[in-house]
Structure formats: C-alpha cells, structure tokens
Amino acid sequence: MGSAASHSARLPPPPPPPAFDAATPPKPQEEAGKPAAEEKVDYMNLPCPVPYEEVQREAFMSLKAEVFEGMRLDYTKMLNQSFGLTHSVSMGAVEIPAQGSDVIKIPHGTYEFGANFLDPKLVLIGRLSQDGRVNARVKCDLTENLALKINAQMTSEPGYSQGMFNFDYKGKDYRSQFQVGNNEFYGANYIQSVTKHLSLGTEAFWVGQQRKSGVGLVARYDTKNFVATGQIATTGMVALSYVQKVSDKVSLASDFMYNQMSKDVTATFGYDYMLRQCRLRGKLDTNGVVSALLEERLAPGVTLLLSAEIDHWKKDYKFGYGVGIGE
Amino acid sequence: MASRPSLKPKPKGGKGGKKGSSAADEESTSATAVRLVKEWTTWTMKTTKVVAHYGFIPLIIVVGMNSEPKPSIAQLLSPF
C-alpha cells in the first residue's frame, strides 16, 4: 500500500492518442478494443475510493432508517435554487433509561427551524431547536482537492457543546482526513483503492481528556451487484456488512456487529425497496427488534411517512406517522 | 491624576512581589506568558462559541439572501 501511494504521486504521463488522421474512426475501434482489454487493469488509474466515513454507506442507508415515534411535520420552503428554510414539528415520546427492563417514556414536543444553503463549493446547514440548541454543519471546498467540514452542536448550557473540524484531502486514488474536535480529540484516517473493486483504509484517533486512543482498519469490496465491508478497531469493535443489489428497485442488506468490551453481538437483516412512488425499508434484528419505515410520495411536494418499531424483548412499541411538505 | 500614583505602585508591587516570591523559580516571565496565552485562548474559544451559537443561522440567512437569484424579504417571511 505504501508503494502504491508513492506510485500515484510520481504518475507517468498518459500515452499519446493513437492516430490524429480522423477523429471518429479510431474511437469505435478503441471502444471495441476496450472490452477485450478490460481484463488488464490499469493500476495507475484506479478510481477514487469512497470517503472513510461512508465505507458502510449502502448498509446504513438500508439498515439505519430513521424510525420515529409520534407525529412529525416537516415543511421545506426553497427560496432559491440553493437556499431554503425548513420548519419541523415533532410530538412524540422520549425514553429515559430506567433500571430493569422497564421502558419509561415522557411526552416531548419539539420545534426546529432550519436554514440550508447548498452551493457546489459551500454547504451550510443550520438547525435551531426550541430549547436553544444549534446544530451546525459546514462543508467548504478550499481547493479542488482539499475540503473543510465542520460539525458542531451548541447548547445554552456551558460544557455540553461539541465541535469537530475535518480536513479532507482527495488524491488520485486515495483520500485522507484529519480531524480535530473538542475534548482534545484528534483523529486521522486514510483510504486507498488497491484494485478496481477493493479499497483498504486505516484510522487512528486520540482522546486527550480520557487518555484513550485507538487504531482501526477497514476493507471495502464493491462491484456492480454487491458491496461487502469489514471493519475492525482496537476499541474491540468488529463490524461486517454485506449489501446485495438484487435489482434496480430492491436491495437486501445484512450487518454483523461485535463489541468485545461490552460483549454485545448484533446481527441485522434488512431490505430496501425503492419504487417509483415510495421507498420502503425494513429490518429484523437479533435483539428482537423489527422495524419498518415507509416514505410515500402522495403528490409532488407531499410525502407521507409511516414508521413502526417493535421490540419484542423489551415490549417497547413505537409507531409514528408524519407528513412532509415541500421538496 | 490620583489614579496614576496608585497605578504605578501596583505593577511594581506585583512584579516585585512575584520576583520576590519566585526567587527560586527563574522562569517567572515565561510562566506568566504561558498563563496569559492560556487565558487568551480560553477567552477566544468561549467568545467563538457564543458568536457561533447566536450568529450561525443569521449567517446562513444573509449568505442565502445574497445568492443569485436574490429572493425578497417577503419571500423569506411569508409561509408560502
């Protein structure tokens, strides 16, 4: 992997085009020749890998759907191609951790005002909730290859705010990231395309206040039909996932997570149906949790959300419905 | 005028006191420099956090209202 990185740094110049006589005839010849030549992989021109935090993106999209409880109303108003305001009302219940297997819920209503500015080079997303908490996300492309991401949650109570600065550098077939956060959190990660389908990555982090540090490795193998990832870290976490794209509209996902510190093992199986008017995601867990989320587009600009989560072991039932207005 | 004579003895008294008390510690000026830097960075972090807390959403609104095509204030405030 180290030699691959140095090779990509000293890239040889691309070979000159075969013939300048006529522009069109060489092209079909080249394209006809390409499928035969495709077996020989050009290791100097590998695609750029997926960012490190999105290595398990397909599995998360299918399996970590945002189920909610209660009523939800989201209104999005776009003032401009890139600027929009959102209002979000949610009335539901919040769980308090209780001793034993009882689940205690208290009713909780929130209103959140949001502003989004989406530009190719600058993305600003802010959410302000009724208890004074501000959630801020900034993504700024400083140069073509270097991006700065800031993620912060600020509260009125002192000492509970969190912030994280990420500097991302995108190379030809690698990506590297450096993170600085509050509570003296420093992290760095690096991911490299090794073959056309396989990319390997590593990360390290250090928390100053708790004097904890960790190292992790990740591997991702993706083809047109499936994506398999594996992740292992010195915090005692092993996570494997496999997503199979059965067709354009259906994909099935499975996930296995093992935490050595808390001796917690969880396997999840899920499905994701992406149909024309709706998107249905459901999953089944070895913790006895069955959940599903339906997003249906009733009319252009009106979306219906139905969510259900049943935890058979804890006898915790959560059902929610919501409406989204606006794009 | 009355404040000046009272101000002058204070720094002298402070420095003299520090030098006198930290006669064994030769790095008194660098120690004070480090302490001042720490105080200034703490103050900067606290101020940045307050500025970001109150100013982030207005910043997004200002940036958005100045982007092309410019929306009007009526569009910003009306519910539809």
B55 touches chain A (CB under 8 A): no
CA angle A187, A189, A190 (to 5 degrees): 160
Q: pLDDT tens, A119-134? A: 999 999 999 999 999 9
Contact status of A121 with chain B (Cβ, < 8 Å)? no
Structure confidence by residue, pLDDT tens digits, A142-164:
999 999 999 999 998 877 889 99
Phi, psi of A116 (to 5 degrees): -125, 135
Cβ-Cβ contacts under 8 Å, A116 against chain B? 60
pLDDT at B13 over 60: no
Give pTM, 2 decimals: 0.75
Please report, rounded to a whole number, the percentage of residues in chain A having pLDDT higher than 90.
Answer: 63
Q: Are residues A176 and A202 in contact, defined by beta-carbon separation less than 8 angstroms?
A: no
The span from the CA of A130 to the CA of A87, in Å, is: 11
**Å from B25 to nearest chain A CA?**
29
Q: What are phi and psi of A140, to 5 degrees?
A: -130, 130
User: How far is the C-alpha of A134 from the C-alpha of A149, rounded, in Å?
Assistant: 16
Partner B contacted by A79 (CB < 8 A): yes
User: Which of chain B's residues have a Cβ under 8 Å away from the Cβ of A152?
Assistant: 52
Q: What is the mean pLDDT of chain A?
A: 86
CA distance A120 to A116: 13
Structure tokens at A206: 């250090």
Query: What's the token pair of residue A10?
Result: 């000293």
Answer with the residue of higher pLDDT: A96 or A10: A96
Q: Are B67 and A119 a contacting pair at CB < 8 A? A: yes
- The count of residues in chain B is 80
**DSSP 8-state symbol, A52:** G
- What pLDDT digit, counting tens, does each position of A166-222 carry? 999 999 889 999 999 988 899 999 999 999 899 999 999 999 888 889 999 999 999
From the CA of B30, how many Å to the nearest CA of chain A? 24
Tell me what pLDDT residue A8 has. 41
Asked whether residue A38 carries a pLDDT value surpassing 80, the answer given is no
Report how far residue A29's alpha carbon sits from residue B42's, in angstroms, rounded to the nearest whole number: 66
User: Cα separation of A171 and A2, whole Å?
Assistant: 14
Q: What is the pLDDT of residues B19-61, one digit of tens each?
A: 545 555 556 889 999 999 999 998 998 898 899 999 999 999 9
Q: Residue B69, preceding bond cis, omega within 30 degrees?
A: yes
What would the pLDDT profile of A219-249 be if each residue is shown by its tens digit?
999 999 999 999 999 989 999 999 999 999 9
Q: Which residue has the tokens 């396989």?
A: A198
Give the closest of A115, A136, A156 to B61, CB-based: A115
So what's the pLDDT on residue B25? Answer: 56
Question: What is the structure's pLDDT at B26?
Answer: 59
Evaluate if residue A33 carries a pLDDT over 60.
Answer: no
Give pLDDT, residue A29. 45
pLDDT at A158: 79
Q: Is the pLDDT of residue A97 over 50?
A: yes
Kindly state whether B34 is in contact with chain A, defined as any CB-CB distance less than 8 angstroms.
no
pLDDT score, position A80: 87
Q: Does this complex have an ipTM over 0.90?
A: no
* Pick from A117, A134, A161: CB nearest B63: A117
> Which residues from B are below 8 Å from A164, CB to CB?
none
For the record, the structure tokens of A26 come out as 């060489």
B73 touches chain A (CB under 8 A): no
Q: What is the pLDDT of residue A22?
A: 44
CB contact under 8 A, B69 and A161: no
Residue A96 structure tokens: 């308090």
A80 interface with B at CB cutoff 8 Å: yes
Q: Do A124 and B63 touch (CB under 8 A)?
A: yes
> Token digits for B4?
């000046």
Q: Please tell me the distance in Å from A293's CA to the nearest CA on chain B.
A: 29
Which single residue is written with the structure tokens 């590297």?
Answer: A176
What pLDDT digit, counting tens, does each position of A279-318 carry?
999 999 999 999 999 999 999 989 999 999 999 988 889 9
